[in-house]
Structure 1
Amino acid sequence: MIKELDVSRIDDIMKIWLEENINAHDFISKDYWEENYDYVKRVLPDATVFVYEDNDEAKGFIGIVENSYIAGLFVSNRYQANGIGGELLERCKQEYSILKLDVYAKNIKAVNFYKKHGFKIEQEKENEETREVEYSMVWNLYS
């Protein structure tokens, strides 16, 4: 079941955020994610966050800011490849006619996931903080 974030569950969501950032981005220091943890936890409730829950367990979530930008999509490693990420994206496609995101080029699994779900690479750039190459990707209902 997908529902909006209940802030009382933010620690569960942040656990997924930290673990999956470290797992998916082995080319970035673990310290980077740990140092950003408190900031993300503080601003996350300001985003529109949809959480995939099953048996009262958060298995994944997606956060949208500025009415179209996917700030993050994370599925707990134990539940990946079960369609949860796709369901979260589809929920957002029902709410928004345009979705944008940035994804690290080295995160091939994520790049391919977004392409499979209709996203197209618009731009290649360097992330100012990590100095890693990112793709700006977009999905548009009308294209």
Structure 2
Amino acid sequence: MNTSENKISVNRLIEIKPYQDIYRPQILSIWERSVLATHHFLSQTDFEEIKILVNSIDFNQFEVFCLTDEDIVIGFVGVHSNKIEMLFLEPQYFGQGLGKSLLEFAVNKLEANQLDVNEQNENALKFYRKSGFEILERTEKDEQGRAYPLLRMKLK
């Protein structure tokens, strides 16, 4: 490996930046890769239907911030009315503390204190519990009426 390659990896600039429309294609790709890596409980049909819904989201309707590595989006968080509506990370960055950075940003800077998580997404549930969220309520179905229970959580 040459020294310029080493220098690039050592000098990575990871930042949290406000959403811009130019980030949209990257966000949609991250959402898809992240869901495929974590939501194994979704049927293919449901995944495709949800993907259509996600592609129709106007991200400007939320407080969305992007985690960037050298200006490439590697994760994002979206908040509306103190509720985290979306938090997704490129799977290759799982387990490096970057999801925690996004969550802490949402809590500390955007005053988020609530979220919903799929009950079957056990790793996310553990992550949110470890971060101080507790379950307030369980629904039998998700917001589209599919048989994927949601856990409504609030920061302790």
Structure (1/2) with the larger strand percentage = 1
User: TM-score of the superposition, structure 2-length normalised?
Assistant: 0.81
Paired residue type of 1:134: L
Change (3 A) 1:42 1:61: same
SS in 2 for 1:11: helix
Which residue of 107, 115, 123 corresponds with 1:93?
Answer: 107
Residue equivalent to 1:54:
69
The percent identity for this pair of structures is 29
Residue equivalent to 1:131:
147
Pair member with larger Rg: 2
Segments of structure 1 that go 5 or more residues without pairing to the other structure are none
Query: Matches of 1:96 and 1:9 in 2, distance apart?
Result: 20
Deviations 1:88-108 (A, max 9, x none): 111111234452111111111
Deviations 1:10-35 (A, max 9, x none): 01000011121122111111332322
User: TM-score of the superposition, structure 1-length normalised?
Assistant: 0.88
Which residue of 22, 28, 47 corresponds with 1:8?
Answer: 22
Which residue of 33, 39, 63 corresponds with 1:19?
Answer: 33
The CA RMSD over aligned residues, in Å, is 1.6
Segments of structure 2 that go 5 or more residues without pairing to the other structure are 1-14
Query: Matches of 1:130 and 1:77 in 2, distance apart?
Result: 25
114-123 vs 25-34, which moves further: 25-34
Deviations 1:61-82 (A, max 9, x none): 11112x2111111111011111
Contact residue 77 and residue 102 of structure 2 kept, 8 A = yes
Query: Matches of 2:115 and 2:147 in 1, distance apart?
Result: 17
